[in-house]
Amino acid sequence: MSRLPRIYLKEAAYFITCRGEHNETIFKDGEDYKMFLDLMKKYQEQYGIKVFAFCLMPDHLHLLVEMEKTADGQEAPSREPPSRSQAISDFMHDLNNNYTKYFNGRYNRKGHLFRERFKSALVEKESSLLKMTAYLHLNPQRSGLVDDAGAYPYSSYQMYLYDQDANQQDLSFMRQAVAEALGLLNNKNYAEFIQELTPEDGHVIHKRLQRGGILGSEDFIKRVKEAVDAYQASGEVQKYEIEDRKNARLYYAVGGLVLILLAGAGGVFFISIKRPLPVAVQPVSAPAESKLDNFRANEWQIKLTPFSGTGESGDILSFAEGRFVSAKLNAMGFPSTNYSVYIQDNKKVIWETLQSSPGGTASWRGEVENDTMSGVLSLRETGKAPQDFSFVSIGQRRKIQ
């Protein structure tokens, strides 16, 4: 699949492929698949990504997605020429990064799990969206994992057959997108439609993806190429490609730091190619830097409140030397972990991390403003019902260095 610049086009979707490093297995059992889908649900909501279809294979995965809104919650622009689709890049970064943390913690491994850069292709929704869902859903059958693609439990095929129970996963967040795709059938049956995709049709799709990374009508392909030419001529794509490679190296070298670089861009998600781009990293003022120093230097005493409203408990959080520790969860077997942190609008500290152990996972997200920390903890322990908590700080104490 050729590398197209990450641009946004109205009425176009992205077909995304991620593979394990050196074709390594990235999903070993049902718990792994479930964790990836839980994270996908979380980040598609955060970044405004519409998920039309997915297929998770043992050593790779496919997603068919569309960008609905910018990272600041605004509707995605419909203007031409196109702008960089930063939300999709950030969505995939956080999804793969946090799944890697979970996988490494569970299987006691280190290093990156996915190949450095996910591959993507632009798909015209009107002419090719349904074909791409069929191509994606048939992947397990083509690969010989199952005789009937409809029986594969780790794809969205069952959603298209109105048989979500067979998937044993809550995919309700996809309902609107699936309905939109099925609306293109013109009252046909999806099971019959997908059977109409012959091996020759699949081969043609595969070749089109390999040759140009564009799937759609001739008019759509022409429009994409013209938009890409204009975007490349502006010089901004080269700047972003350099930043992408630099950020990827930083991700593998220092873990969470890349999130600071990406999230620190503030509103730089949709910039017309006719305008000069602001710098990629938002400057941090001295007072803001002081907030980060205070954040790291203190232990935070917090009160955890279950969403059920009963059974409050206390905890102590620390962020020293780039490692996050929860005293309560540490006693439960959850080790320290890396965390990402950045300053929003030069005043609010935002942090996030995912802890994993053989006994489960704990996803944390918090913010600090006016010396008060608040946030959410999602705890998933093996063999137990999911537990979700809100938390707020009740005090600080400076750590002895």
Is residue 40 within 8 Å of 391, Cβ to Cβ? no
Residues of the chain with pLDDT > 90: what percent? Answer: 31
pLDDT tens-digit series, residues 340-397: 888 877 778 889 888 888 888 898 989 998 889 999 998 988 888 888 889 999 988 7
Give the containing element (helix H, strand E) for 199: helix 199-212
Residue 321 has pLDDT above 90, yes or no: no
User: Cα 299–296–344 angle (5° rounding)?
Assistant: 120
Higher pLDDT, 137 or 238: 137
Query: Could you tell me the pLDDT band of residue 285, with boundaries at 50, 70 and 90?
Result: low
Taking the CB of residue 370, how many other CB atoms lie within 10 A of it? 6
Is residue 340 within 8 Å of 101, Cβ to Cβ? no
Query: Nearest CA to 94 among 12, 168, 53, 38?
Result: 38
- Statement: the pTM of the whole predicted model exceeds 0.85: no
Average pLDDT over residues 138-154: 91
Residue 252 has pLDDT above 60, yes or no: no
Distant-in-sequence, close-in-space partners of 220: CB < 8 Å, separation ≥ 6: 12, 124, 127, 214
Is residue 25 within 8 Å of 58, Cβ to Cβ? yes
* Rounded Cα–Cα distance for residues 84 and 360 (Å): 37
Question: Average model confidence (pLDDT) for the chain?
Answer: 77
One-letter amino acid of 333: G
Least confidently predicted of 111-115, 141-145, 283-287, 300-304: 283-287
* Rounded Cα–Cα distance for residues 298 and 287 (Å): 17
Residue 261 has a pLDDT of 26
Residue 269 has pLDDT above 80, yes or no: no
User: Cα separations (Å) of 207 from 189, 204, 361?
Assistant: 27, 5, 40
Residue 207 has a pLDDT of 80
Query: Could you tell me the pLDDT band of residue 111, with boundaries at 50, 70 and 90?
Result: confident
Least confidently predicted of 192-201, 238-247, 270-279: 270-279
Residue 58 has pLDDT above 60, yes or no: yes
Tokens of 136: 């994606």
Residue 310 has a pLDDT of 76
Residue 65 has pLDDT above 80, yes or no: yes
Residue 76 has a pLDDT of 52
* Rounded Cα–Cα distance for residues 397 and 299 (Å): 5
Tokens of 343: 């300053």
Beta strands in 283-401 (DSSP E): 298-306, 313-318, 323-326, 337-338, 340-344, 348-357, 360-369, 372-381, 387-398
Tokens of 132: 């791409």
- Going 288 to 98 to 119 to 254, the CA torsion angle's sign is positive
Average pLDDT over residues 268-292: 44
Give the containing element (helix H, strand E) for 249: helix 236-254
* Rounded Cα–Cα distance for residues 146 and 154 (Å): 12
In eight-state DSSP terms, residue 278 is P
pLDDT tens-digit series, residues 207-222: 877 765 788 888 888 8
Residue 38 has pLDDT above 70, yes or no: yes
One-letter amino acid of 202: G
Query: Could you tell me the pLDDT band of residue 338, with boundaries at 50, 70 and 90?
Result: confident
Average pLDDT over residues 333-346: 84
Query: Nearest CA to 305 among 295, 294, 320, 315?
Result: 315
Q: What are phi and psi of 7, to 5 degrees?
A: -115, 160
Taking the CB of residue 23, how many other CB atoms lie within 10 A of it? 11
Residue 266 has pLDDT above 70, yes or no: no
What domains can you pick out in the chain, each with its CATH number?
A: 12-234 (3.30.70.1290), 286-398 (2.40.128)
Residues of the chain with pLDDT > 70: what percent? Answer: 75
Residue 286 has pLDDT above 50, yes or no: yes
* Rounded Cα–Cα distance for residues 20 and 357 (Å): 21
Identify which of 20-34, 243-257, 374-388 has the greatest average pLDDT: 20-34
